[in-house]
Structure 1
Amino acid sequence: MKTLSFDSFTKKIHIKASMQKLYWCWGTEEGITSWFLRGADYTSANGNRRGAEENIQDGDSYSWRWHNWDGEEKGKVLEANGTDRVVFSFAGDCTVTVTLEDKKEAVLLTLTQANIPTDDDNKLKIFYGCSNGWTFWMANLKAYLEHGIMLNETEFDLSGIELAGYEFVNM
């Protein structure tokens, strides 16, 4: 058995959708804003902004904006193979790897966030915060693709609540 630690975590979920649809959800601006983000911009390594339906590529930069949070996450696409794997920097020097595996009845989506600093502040903010966040967003993706519903909060403005990201389960 793999030893659990604070420097990485893995989350998995089976989703009844095609590999192509799931990759679109992670690998395009249009896809990732359909279930996850309020806004996303991708810029190629040579400085050109990618189109909303265009697949992201290795070396792209991104800027993400969420519902109910005024912050912005910026990072790099480290790998995007166009079919079943996306790797990007996230939360500083962390890496997030998303893989898709066809299981006939569904696709197994596996997300691993690694390189998490293990000081107490990052154990709380990144390990605990991101682990909870990815769990919710993966369930939201399943609800969106399998049932056509969104679980995230868009009706109530939670941005003024200091601990909203830790207390609300649908943010």
Structure 2
Amino acid sequence: MEDRKKLDWSSFTVNIPLDISKDKIIEAWMTPKALENWFLRLAEFSTPSGEKRKREEKIQPGDSYRWQWYGWPESTEEHGKILNPEQGEFLRFVFGKSGIVGIKIVEENKQTILRLIQENIPQDEESRMNFFVGCKTGWTFYLLNLKSILLNGPDLRNKRSELQMD
């Protein structure tokens, strides 16, 4: 039998090629209104002092958030904190209990690529399924939806409340 490399369940990477300006890609992540355009049903951010950010106000490191998605009941929400971006990243945040997400734009083979890395995923069996498999699947879909929206295509999200995802 071939010696296989052991799967690292503590992190994953999702890449999506985008023929769109870097500024436009970054803008899609940086305000509550922009995030609701392709990712979330509800994006609320609060400053470190507890003041709620306006819908078109840029989010900042130190902000906390509350997120809800289409297709999930209102009781399904995520809470986390915006962190200081690390080398090359334009956004970094604590993604609830599922780890830390960093987002950057890279150039490879003359192609602009949006790269999302989720790391520090807990290592118990339930976290492997919910956070490694579940989050990777979710991020793959939402990054594809981002690409569709940025290219003036359809919004691929399920917005029908009677079709729940849980």
Shorter chain as denominator, the TM-score bin is 0.7 to 0.9
Shift of 1:101: 3.0
**Aligned: 1:30 with 2:30:** no
Query: Secondary structure, in 3 states, of the residue corresponding to 2:151?
Result: helix
Unpaired stretches in structure 2, ≥5 consecutive residues: none
- Cα distance in 2 between the residues matched to 1:156 and 1:41: 20
Partner of 2:79: 74
- Counterpart among 130, 146, 150 of residue 145 in structure 1: 150
Larger radius of gyration: 2
Shift of 1:104: 9.9
Query: Secondary structure, in 3 states, of the residue corresponding to 2:28?
Result: helix
Report the CA distance shift for 1:64/1:156 in structure 2 as closer, same or farther (over 3 A): closer
Report how many aligned residue pairs link the two structures.
Answer: 159
- Cα distance in 1 between the residues matched to 2:109 and 2:34: 22
Report the CA distance shift for 1:105/1:99 in structure 2 as closer, same or farther (over 3 A): same
CA RMSD in angstroms comes to 2.2
Unpaired stretches in structure 1, ≥5 consecutive residues: 166-171
**Aligned: 1:46 with 2:52:** no
- Cα distance in 2 between the residues matched to 1:80 and 1:65: 23
CA contact (8 A) 2:98 2:131 kept: no
Report the CA distance shift for 1:49/1:128 in structure 2 as closer, same or farther (over 3 A): same
More helix by share: 1
Q: TM-score, normalised by structure 1?
A: 0.83
Report the CA distance shift for 1:156/1:39 in structure 2 as closer, same or farther (over 3 A): closer
The percent of aligned pairs where both chains have the same amino acid is 36
Partner of 1:59: 62
CA contact (8 A) 2:85 2:102 kept: no
Structure 1 residue ranges (4+ consecutive) displaced by more than 6 angstroms after TM superposition: none
